[in-house]
Amino acid sequence: MNTTTKIYIAGHRGMVGSAIWRALVAKGYTNLIGRTSAELDLRSQQAVTEFFDIGNPEVVIDAAARVGGILANNEYPYQFLMENMQIQNNLIDASLKADVEKFIFLGSSCIYPKLAPQPLKEEYLLTAPLEPTNEWYAIAKITGVKACEAIRKQFGKDYISLMPTNLYGPFDNFDLRTSHVLPAMIRKFHEAKHQSTVDGRPSTVTLWGSGTPMREFLFVEELADAVVFALENQFQDNLYNVGTGVDLTIRELAELIQKTVGHTGEIIWDSSKPDGTPRKLMDVSKMTDAGWKAKVGLEEGIKRTYEWFLENQETFKQVKI
């Protein structure tokens, strides 16, 4: 691996892909390839094959996927299963046929069973049923993990899978209808901060559930750093969790974001709304043993994300993840 290695980043315009691109540029890599979905339909095997024939990438990073929340997964199960399988299978198969030596597949912690012990270890994969609300996406990602594992086993190539915990950061999705919990909170507290009640008191913010579930969050630029580390090093295994190994309650998260944004109103917890899984924490000991550990704390990461939000308020609704 050197700074002139030709690296193709699939999904380079998304939150994760763009962070990886910036991280590689910062380290001096000069031969990066990216294609928008309009330029290259990753669901088309023919299109992907032709791109590899012409582009000849030496390394491939798969940060492309069809993503969405619970509602989207429930309404479009076939698309979430099939399109994600098409995207990753085309990329993995084309990479194998083009003799790409290094392939990094990015997945999600949702690949692990719904009721797996905490923290989640890589060995828990396929040991029990998945969470029903996102099993279609999870099954697709599991097939990607297994495809990379099969290539390592049969062909001896350096194909690895990184499973990040909940991500947030610049270029996140702040649409309240489709965003995840952390960016949604940033927007809610920000908008409430600039509103007031009739009598001039700060506006309240209503959040779902009791606030007691525990979640782990990773700044997206940390994932990008982990990807660069994986590029520049040989890993002994095929599957690694990427996270902080530290979680907090949703209530604590809300209070931290409220403090960062500067909102002074009351937080109302709507207990009629679901809490979701009580806890979801990744075991990151394998990644730590490999030599990588997260450095950006949650408070700093939220501060940097909110700064990006403030600088991009006019355009963030149009950002496609």
Q: What is the pLDDT of residues 97-106, one digit of tens each?
A: 999 999 999 9
* E strand residue ranges, the chain: 7-10, 32-33, 59-62, 102-106, 158-164, 166-168, 205-208, 214-215, 217-219, 239-242, 248-249, 267-270, 279-280
Q: Which residue has the higher pLDDT, 240 or 177?
A: 240
The predicted-structure confidence for 285-302, as pLDDT tens digits, reads as follows 999 999 999 999 999 999
Asked if pLDDT for residue 89 goes beyond 50, the answer is: yes
Helix (H, G, I), strand (E, B) or coil at 187: helix
List residues bridging with 269 in a β-sheet: 207
**13 marked as binding residue:** yes
Nearest to 191 by CA among 171, 205, 175: 205
Q: Which residue has the higher pLDDT, 243 or 318?
A: 243
The predicted-structure confidence for 246-275, as pLDDT tens digits, reads as follows 999 999 999 999 999 999 999 999 999 888
Place of tokens 């917890």: 269
Asked if pLDDT for residue 319 goes beyond 80, the answer is: no
pLDDT number for residue 318: 45
Nearest to 80 by CA among 43, 54, 47: 43
pLDDT number for residue 320: 42
**93 marked as binding residue:** no
**188 marked as binding residue:** yes
The predicted-structure confidence for 187-244, as pLDDT tens digits, reads as follows 999 999 988 766 778 899 999 999 999 999 999 999 999 999 999 999 999 999 999 9
Hey, what amino acid is at 12? H
Quote the pTM value.
Answer: 0.93
**14 marked as binding residue:** yes
**291 marked as binding residue:** no
pLDDT number for residue 317: 52
> Among residues 8, 112, 137, 240, which one is catalytic?
137
Mean pLDDT value across the chain: 93
Domain extents in the chain: 7-172+217-245+279-296
Question: Which CATH superfamily includes the segment(s) 7-172+217-245+279-296?
Answer: NAD(P)-binding Rossmann-like Domain (3.40.50.720)
**85 marked as binding residue:** no
137 is catalytic: yes
**208 marked as binding residue:** yes
pLDDT number for residue 316: 58
Q: Is 97 exposed, middle or buried (0-12, 13-18, 19+ CB in 10 A)?
A: exposed
**12 marked as binding residue:** yes
The predicted-structure confidence for 41-84, as pLDDT tens digits, reads as follows 999 999 999 999 999 999 999 999 988 766 677 788 999 999 99
Contact assessment for residue 62 and residue 227, using Cβ atoms and an 8 Å cutoff: no
Contact assessment for residue 222 and residue 287, using Cβ atoms and an 8 Å cutoff: no
> Could you give phi then psi for residue 215, rounded to 5 degrees?
-140, 155
